[in-house]
Structure 1
């Protein structure tokens, strides 16, 4: 395979870390022919199949332009600390894009190939806010926007008594991920890529 895109998935198993997902591929009791190239969790990323070989992850057959024939499949585990797993996935994918001279336009969802609701934890009832956020984070990583400045300080952030993801203090201003605040408030987060507008809507 000569890959042209990277396709993201969720494993669909909230109990299984990366090592178990890797083991599932070669388990004699596994009757499925599905496969993937890389699996990532809160601790590690494991390459299971060489990136120059096809994997059967896109659900769109074996045509020459199918995801199965042209895309690197990356499974994001749902077990453990999912926020940390997403952090790792962002860094992994950004590194893969950078190595190839690609941008986030090369990222695909399983959904893009066969309309399966996957990555399911990014679906958000069809709004795909998690997917938009993931792509934005990867893009920021590519551009170095997430690099902490030397004069910044880590800030503990508490919303309604709940500790959320650390913020950072720069020049007297505290910066906090909007999604972390929204999740703590039970709000819906949205992002319009065309207008570069972020929204936070509280549930009534």
Structure 2
């Protein structure tokens, strides 16, 4: 599965990317509710001039790719539970699962992606949430099964299976500071500390850039090239 970053601009209408700092505590799973959608199509919808909704999300997955639409250290409007600092909108990474094409492959891709994200953060399936858990909306709808949520149980089992037996990755949270100011948590993975580039760069007054074609992140300080 290809993972690409195509962030929507800050000026996207209806404040779909407000740029509020987020320290994620969970990952929330959704279905798109559109049986004809693709990851590329859902990304395009976020900046479509005819879209008058505020709703947004961090990542969308289909049978071929995953597209990151909003940085994972910023909030998006996906949980339907308001803007309080304890809301799902402000504390959870929103992942949309497309419903078109080979749905079994899409689920496989989503489970693989979620497992990798959990591993990187030292989390377990206990950090997974449904849209339903935040606002009561029947979503992810294809996992509902008339209220039995058998699809949700099966998806969590898929993710759990991918987490099993991987003892090579040992991850834990690691705090870090820039000029004495606490920043969003980094990660300690196999003895190496990893920090969010955006948070570290902006704390140093640098401009953070992303070259999507060459998949290169950059930091530019004042006077730098």
Q: Normalization by structure 1: what TM-score? A: 0.70
Counterpart position of 2:55: 34
Counterpart position of 2:71: 50
Equivalent residues, number: 145
Distance 2:87 2:100 in 1: 29
* Aligned partner (choices 75, 89, 94) of residue 68 of structure 1: 89
Which digits, 9 at most, give the CA deviation of each residue in 1:54-87, with x for residues without a partner? 1000000011110000000000000100000000
Distance 2:53 2:85 in 1: 22
Counterpart position of 2:180: none
SS at match of 2:147: coil
Distance 1:67 1:46 in 2: 20
Q: Label 1:144 to 1:86 Cα distance change in 2 as closer, same or farther (>3 A).
A: farther
Counterpart position of 1:137: 158
Stretches of structure 2 lacking an aligned partner (at least 5 in a row) = 1-21, 167-225
* Aligned partner (choices 74, 98, 106) of residue 85 of structure 1: 106
Distance 2:30 2:39 in 1: 13
Q: Which runs of 4+ in 1 moved over 4 A?
A: none
Distance 2:101 2:83 in 1: 34
Distance 2:93 2:63 in 1: 20
Deviation (angstroms), 1:46: 0.4
SS at match of 1:52: coil
SS at match of 2:154: helix
Counterpart position of 2:46: 25
Which digits, 9 at most, give the CA deviation of each residue in 1:76-128, with x for residues without a partner? 00010000000000000000000000000000000000000000000000000
Deviation (angstroms), 1:144: 3.8
SS at match of 1:54: coil
